[in-house]
Structure formats: structure tokens, C-alpha cells
Amino acid sequence: MGTGSDAVRASGSSQLAGRVAVITGAGRGIGREHALLFAAEGASVVVNDLGGSNSGEGSDAGPAHEVVAAIRAAGGTAVANTEDVATWDGAKSLVAQAVDEFGRLDVVVNNAGILRDGFIATLTESDWDAVIAVHLKGHFSVLRHAAEYWKAQSKAGEQPLASVINTASGSGTTLPNAGQSNYGSAKAAIAALTLVAADELERYGVRVNAIAPIARTRLTLATPGMGTLMAEPEEEGEVDLFSPANISPLVAYLATEKCPVTGRVYAVQGGAISRLAGWHDVDTIETDGLWDIDDIAARLPRT
């Protein structure tokens, strides 16, 4: 039995009915499954995807339009957007399109990302900048323009019931990977951005959460060893826990109007969802006077 959008679509539920959602990186992988499930649950979806390669090179309008066609064929509502969310103007026009097309914006799912792995001693400036731009600036740019819209709504007396779901990663939270200094740094920053945004935007009726997903996508399959770990089931009828579609139900729940959760980061992989917590005190040393180098060397926590 399926665990993804097909199974939910068959249930006939409509937990996102009337919601308008922008989903970035929605032409393939996890983002595509988000878009399919959101539409199946009744949301009107702006499917954003630049259509670049794993490394963010090139563009192709095909993936975004193909997802829109699939949604419409199933009776859903969607429009395509192929803007580059790593640019300020691209993110602004994406938010504007949602409002222009559907009259409102209720949900932002920041999902777009690329990989340009490399060890620190040889990583190029362009590979650092590109990954930070797509992940971190791309998240912030869409969030910023959506926040401006929601703030204006709130000030006008139309308090939103809005939701933002960002995409972090274990690479930046619990499982730092050698060769991913750019990716891990961006993802750790996205987790921090999520907490700050949740605190700032709550007054405007906006909840902000993040997920750190692990699933079978073109990016994870490009990581050595991950292909074997997340291979598709060989037995017919076996549950495919690492299908990208198995990530989307959590995102859909966080996007529902009545969900109370905000300021949280959830790891989701296979059959497990875990709430993650950030940096916290583990061991502390104190002094009544000024710090001394030898005293620090003797007592600094190391384990």
C-alpha cells in the first residue's frame, strides 16, 4: 500500500481546503510530493522550480509545468512559477503571483536546494556562494516577502492564519557530513532562521517550523552510500518508507489552519519523526574573578 500522495488522494480528505500555498523546488523529489499532496488536500498551489541541475546550473521550465499538469489532471488547482528564489526579485514575484492568481497567500514551503560538495581545503568560492544563495538566501527571500504581505494584512485588521515550513537537514543539525561545509552551514542557519522567524512573526498570525528530512531524492542519491540505504523496496506491496512522498504528510499537517505548532524543527525519516533541540549548556565552569589561561586549561569541559 502506498504511503504518499496517491494514498492520501484516494482518501478524499481536504485538510488544506481553501489554503493557498507557495512551494519552492516543487518540480522534483520531495517538493513535487508536497505539491501533489497539498493539491490533493484542497490547496491551490504555486509550483515553483527553476529546473536547474543538482548543482544549480541551467534552467528548465518543464518540471514545474509537468507537476501543474499532473495536479490539474487529478482535479486540483495549481500554477507554475520558474523564478530563481535565490534572487530578491524572483522571490518577490513568486509571492506576488500567489496573491495575484488566488487572491491570498496562506502557506510558504521553502524546499529549493542544490548540492556542490567539496572538502574545505579545496572548496571554491563559487561553490560556497551558490549553495548559501539557493538554500539560505532563497529561504529568507521568500520568507521576507511573504512576511511583508502578512504584516500588511495584520495591520489592516485581517489577521492571517499563515504557516511557513522551512527545510533544514541533519547535515546542519545532528549529523554533520564531511564535504558539506556549505550545505551544512546553510541548513544550520535555516534552523536558526526558523526559530527567529517564529518569534518575530507570531504577532502577525504566522507560524514558522522546519523539517530535516531524509528520503530518496536526486540529491540524496548523489551522496555516496545513500543509494543503497534508501533503495526502493524489491518486494511488491512492501511499504516504501524512504519515498519522498512519506515526508509530505508532516509538512501538510504543519500547513493546516488549526495546527498550533510553531518554532519547532522536526527530523523526519523512514517511520520516525523527532523534535530536534539546538545548542544548550552541557557543562559549565565558573570563576569569582577574572579568567586565567591556566585555570581555563585545567578546568575547561572537554567531554
The Cα–Cα gap between 32 and 40 comes to 12
Catalytic annotation present for 253 = no
Among residues 183, 204, 253, 266, which one is catalytic? 183
Are 160 and 154 in contact by the 8 Å Cβ rule? The answer is: yes
Are 114 and 64 in contact by the 8 Å Cβ rule? The answer is: no
DSSP secondary structure string, the chain? Answer: ---SHHHHHHHT--TTTT-EEEETTTTSHHHHHHHHHHHHTT-EEEEE-----TTS-S--SHHHHHHHHHHHHTT-EEEEE---TTSHHHHHHHHHHHHHHHS---EEE--------B-TTT--HHHHHHHHIIIIIHHHHHHHHHHHHHHHHHHTT----EEEEEE--HHHHT---TTBHHHHHHHHHHHHHHHHHHHHHGGGTEEEEEEEEE---HHHHTSTTHHHHTPPPSSTT---TTSGGGTHHHHHHHHSTT----S-EEEEETTEEEEE-----------SS---HHHHHHH----
- The residues annotated as belonging to the active site are 183
